[in-house]
Structure 1
Amino acid sequence: MPVMINMEVKSTGGKMLREKVSRRSQGIYKAQTKRPSPLTIIKATNYDRVRNLIPIRHARMAASPFAFYRGTAAIMARDLASLPHTNLFVQAIGDCHLMNFGGFATPERSLIFDANDFDETLPAPWEWDVKRLATSFVLAARHNNMKGVDAKEMAHEFAFSYRSHLAEYTKMSTLDLWYMKFDLEQVRSMTNNAKIQHLLEAAVAKAEKQTHQQVFYKITQSLLGSFEIAEQKPLIYHPVDVKKEMEMIQIFMDNYKRTLSDDKRYLFNKFTVIDVALKVVGVGSVGTRCLVVLLMNDKEEPLFIQVKEARPSVLEAYTKKSKYKHNGERVVQGQRLVQAASDIFLGWSTASDGRHYYLRQLRDRKIAPDVENFDKELLSAYARLCGRMLARAHAKTGDGKRLSEYMGKSGVLDEALSDFAVAYADQTEKDYEAFTLAIKMGKIPVQQE
C-alpha cells in the first residue's frame, strides 16, 4: 500500500520544524525493506499507453541511468513519500529534473528561463522537487564523465542557490515576486564568463528561428494542393483518418476553446484545423497520447498546437488528490501558478473516449539545454540558475518564510541535500542495472527508433 503523507500541520516557526525533521536527516536515503522492484512500477506506469510505443519508451530509458531517471518519476515519488519531510507544501512541479527546464517566449515575445513540463504537478512537500532536481544534477555529471566529487558539487551548487535565493525572495513584496521573470538577456548580462555568454547568445539566436513557419517547413509536406504533417514512422504518424474524423476533432477543439479567455479565443478562431498526427516526445511521455495539430489561417500562416494526454500525477498516490477533476486542468493551473509567464494558447479538453488532454503551442521559440555537452563550468552555472528558478516557484506558491527559517543561513541543508542526491543517484544506477538486465533476458521489449 502507498504511504500517504500527513496533511495536518500545526502552524509553527520554521526553526521549530527542525525538531521534527532535522536538516541533516534530509541527507539520508535508505531503500525500504519491502520496496517494490523498479520493473513492477515501470510495468504499472505502462498501463493504457499506446502498446506499439512502449518498446520505444523502454529503449529510450535504456540509453543511460540519466535517461532511465527521466522516465521513472513514479519510482522516486514512492521513495520520497517514505522519507521524513517537513510537510511544508508548495505547488510541486512533480517531475522536477534538469531537462524539464529551459527557455521559451513570453506573450510579449521576450525569451525567459523557467520550468516547462508540468505533467506531474500537484501540491506536495517542497523536498520532493528539490531532491529530484538535485539528484538529476549528480546523474547528469556522471553521464558527462565528471569525477564523483564534482558530481556531488553540482548538487551542492544547486542546493546553495535554492536556499540563498529563497531567503532573498521572502524579503520581496508579493507583487514583485509574481512579476519576476528570468529574462535570458538579463541572465547573459549578469555573467562575465565568456563561455556562458557565448552559449546563451547561440541559444537565443537559435530560438529566434523556432517559429511556426520554420516548424511548418520542417514537418509538413504538400499533397494535392493541400498540406499535411509528414509521417516518420514510428515517431510521427496519423492515428486516424483526419477527414473522416474531422467532426470529432472539431468538437474536441471547440471544448478546448472554452478554456481560453475571450481574446485568445478570438485569435484562435482565425485558424482552421488542417491535419492531426501523433508525435512521440520525451522519455517519460512516450506511449501516452501526444499529438500535433496543424492549423492555418486565410493568409496560409501556420499554427502548431501540441496536444498531450494528461494522466493522474504520480504524486497523487502519496498526497491529497487534486482538487481538479480534469487532469488537463490540473496541469494548466499548476503551470500558470509556477511559471512567470505561460503560453497564450494553454488550455485543456476531453476526447470522445473520456481521456484528458492539455494543449499548448509547439516549439514556440523554445530552448532545450544541451546538457550532455556541458562541462563542469557550464553544468555548475546551470545548477545555480535552476536553483534560482525553483526557489522563486516555491516562494510564490508556499510558505517561503517558514521554509527559509527551516533551511537557515548555514550550509547544513546544502550538504545534506547533496548527500541525498549522491545516495539516490546510486539507487537509480542499481535500478537501471536491473532494468537493462531484464531487457537482456527478454523480459522487457525494446524497439530502436
Structure 2
Amino acid sequence: MDDNVDMTGVADADRATLQELSQRRLLELARERDVRGRTGMDREALVEALLPADPEDGRADGIPRTGDVQRPAGSRFEAFRELAEARARGEMVFLPRLLQGHDRRLHVRQTVREDHQVRIANHDQEAEEKFAKLDASLFSFFRGTCLLFFRDMAGEDAWMPTVLTLGDVHPENFGVMPSYDNVPIFGSNDFDEAFYAPFTWDLKRGATGFVIAAGEVGDHGPKRAAKIVRAFVRGYLEALRGYAGAGQEDREQIRQDNAPELVASLIDDAQQSRADWLERKYLDEYKRGFRADEEHLPVSHRREEFQEALHRFVDENDVDVPDRTPGMKVKDVCIRLGQGTQSLGLPRYYLLVEGPNADGSDDVIIEFKQARRSALAGLVPPSEFTLDGNAERISHAQGVHLVRGDRFYGAVELDGLSFMVRERAPYREKIDLSDLSKKEWSTYAGICGRSLAHSHAMSDESGLLDYDVEPAILAAAGADDLFVDDIVCFAAEAADRVRRDHEHFRTDYRLGAFRTIDHVFR
C-alpha cells in the first residue's frame, strides 16, 4: 500500500481491517497512539497492540476511537456456511433469494457492506467510485456483487459433478491475453473468484450475465436474450462432447490461426507495437518510468521494495525468466487507479521491468493485484477439493484453465497481503459488446460456452479432480433440451432479481448506506 494514502477513517476499523494494513501503516497508527516498543514489533504484535487488552475499557475488539465505543464488524460468513452445508445435505432451508420487499433490501445492504467492509472502513476513494459505478449500470452492479449472487445459491446442486469453476463468468471475462510464448491467445481471463464447485455454478452465473448484458448493452428483449443464453449453454455442451471423445483439451489453444472469425478479428485488432503502447499509455517523457496521470500514480520510492518482491516471486513460483526480461530489473512502480469492477478499491501496482534494449521501447509491465477470498468460499457444497490461500488459488486456476498461459502468472506476499501477479501485454483485449450485431451476440455466446467447457475439461488434466470430468458432466446434464431450458429459466429469474436488487442498492446508495459498515452491538 502507498504510505501517503489518507489515514482518515482507519479509526473506524476492526481487527480484520488492521490485518489488511501494511506494517508501515500499522507503525504510523502505533506512533499516533504512542504504543511503547512499537519499533521492535512485527505485524501481528502491532495489530494486537492496537487492539484493547480489556474489552471493558470501551474499545471492544476495535481501534480506539475518541468519545465512542468501537464494535466488531458484522459478518454472516459462518451463518451462510452452515446454510450451504444444510442445503447440500438435502435439508429444506430458507434461501435469501426468497426474501421480498424491505427484507430483501436489508439483505442486499448487509451483503454489500460486508463484502466491502475494509474499503468502507478505510474511507477508500476507489470504493466510493465503485459504488457510483454500480449505481450507474445494472451490468456493473451484477459484475461487482458476486457475493450477493452466490449467497442466493448457497449449497445448490450438491449432487452435480465438481470442477474448478471460474466463479465469475460473464461476457466480459473472456478475452485476448499473452501465452507462455508471448503470443496472443483467447480464453477465460479472470480467475479471481475461481473455486472448486458444481459445474452448473459457472453456467448459471454466465447465463445470467448474458441476459443482463444483452438487455442493457445490446438492447435485446427477453426472447432474444433467451436465444443468446441457449447458444451459450449449447456451445458448452457441444464442446464438452468433443473433449469427451477426442481428449485433446490439454493441447488446445485458441490463437489467431485457428480462432473463429469473430475472435480472430478481435486478436487482429489487439495487435500493436509494444513501443507505441508503452509510450502512449504508460511512460514519462524520458521513457525511464511511469508518467503521473488519472490512472497511474508513480511510487518510485518503493522500487527497491518491489524489486525484492519480484525476485522472491520468481524464486517461489519457479518462473522461467525469458530473454525479454533479462535480470528482471524493476525500473519504476506505480499504483494503478480506477481499474476493474469487483476489485475496484483493492491495491493494484504496475512494475516497469526493463527489456533488452534498456531504452523504454521493449519494457514489460508486471501487475501486482491484491487477492481476496473467493465469493464462493463457504457457499459451495462441501467438497474434498479445496485450495488454501488467495493468490495461490488464483494462480492455480490460471495454470489449470489455460494451456501454456501467461508465464508470469503467480502469487507473492507483500505488506502481509496476498497478491496475484501477471503480465500486462499490448494485446490484452476483450470484446466490445456494444459493437456486436444481433447475430454476433449468439455467435459470441457460443464461443464463450465452448471456452468455458475447455476450462472445466482441464479440471482433471491439470487440476485436483481424480475422475474423468467430461462424461460425468454430460451424464449429469441429461437431455440437452431440458438442461438448456433449466439454465435459461434460472437466468431469467436471476436477472429479474438482480434488477430488483439494483433498485434497492440505488435507493440505499443515495441515502448514504455505504459510508459505514455493520457493527455487532450485542
- What range describes the TM-score normalised by the shorter chain of this pair? 0.7 to 0.9
Task: Give the letter aligned to residue 165 of structure 1.
Answer: A
- Structure-1 residue corresponding to 2:347: 289
What one-letter code is carried by the residue in structure 2 that aligns with 1:426? Answer: D
- 1:430 — aligned with what? 500
What TM-score comes out, normalization by structure 2 length? 0.73
Report if the CA contact (8 A) 2:309-2:412 is conserved.
yes
CA-CA distance at 1:439 after TM superposition: 2.4
State which drifts further: 46-55 or 332-341. 46-55
1:335 is aligned with what amino acid?
Q
Aligned partner of 2:314 in structure 1 is 257
Q: State the Cα distance separating 1:131 from its structure 2 match.
A: 0.2
Q: Return the alpha-carbon distance in structure 1 between the equivalents of residues 283 and 131 of structure 2.
A: 30
Partner residue in 2 for 1:237 = 297
Check the 8 A contact 1:29/1:423 in 2, yes or no.
no
Q: Which residue of 2 aligns with 1:309?
A: 370
For 1:322-361, list aligned pairs within 5 A: 323-351=386-414, 353-361=415-423
Q: Distance in 1 between matches of 2:375 and 2:224?
A: 31
Query: Paired residue for 2:207, among 119, 128, 134?
Result: 134
Does residue 334 of structure 2 align to residue 277 of structure 1? yes
Matched, 1:414 2:484: yes
- Structure 1 gap ranges (5+): 11-19, 21-27, 189-196
- 1:43 aligns with one of 102, 113, 130: 113
Counterparts of 1:39 and 1:29 in 2: how far apart (Å)? 13
**Identity in percent:** 23
Q: Structure 1 residues 147 and 286 mapped into 2: Cα distance closer, same or farther (>3 Å)?
A: same
Contact 1:212 1:364 in 2 (8 A): yes
Equivalence for 2:271? 208
1:368 maps to which residue?
430
Q: Which residue of 2 aligns with 1:386?
A: 448
* Aligned pairs for 1:164-175 within 5 A: 164-173=238-247
CA RMSD, aligned part only?
2.8
Q: Does 1:118 align with 2:191?
A: yes
- CA distance in structure 2 between the partners assigned to 1:401 and 1:368 by the alignment: 31
Secondary structure of the equivalent of 1:155? helix
| Cα shift at 1:395 | 2.2
Q: SS in structure 2 opposite 1:214?
A: helix
Give, in whole Å, the separation in 2 of the partners of 1:103 and 1:246: 29
The 3-state SS of whatever aligns with 1:171 is: helix
| Alpha-carbon separation, structure 2, partners of 1:306 and 1:123 | 25
Task: Tell me the residue number matched to 2:463.
Answer: none
Structure-2 separation of matches of 1:367 and 1:119:
18
Larger radius of gyration: 2
Change (3 A) 1:98 1:262: closer
- 1:153 maps to 2:250: no
Q: In 2 relative to 1, CA 330–82 (structure 1 residues): closer, same or farther, beyond 3 Å?
A: closer
Deviations 1:368-389, CA, capped at 9 Å, x for gaps: 1101332321110011001111
Segment of structure 1 superposing worse, 291-300 or 123-132 = 291-300
TM-score by length of 1: 0.84
After superposition, give the CA deviation of every residue in 1:6-28 in whole Å (9 maximum; x if it has no partner). Answer: 59x99xxxxxxxxx9xxxxxxx9
Distance 1:201 1:251, change over 3 A: closer
Q: Residues 32 and 439 (structure 1 numbering): CA distance in 2 closer, same or farther, change over 3 Å?
A: closer
Distance 2:186 2:282 in 1: 29
Residues 147-175 of structure 1: CA distance to partner in whole angstroms, max 9, x if unpaired?
211111111111122123222221223xx
The 2-side partners of 1:260 and 1:3 are apart by 32
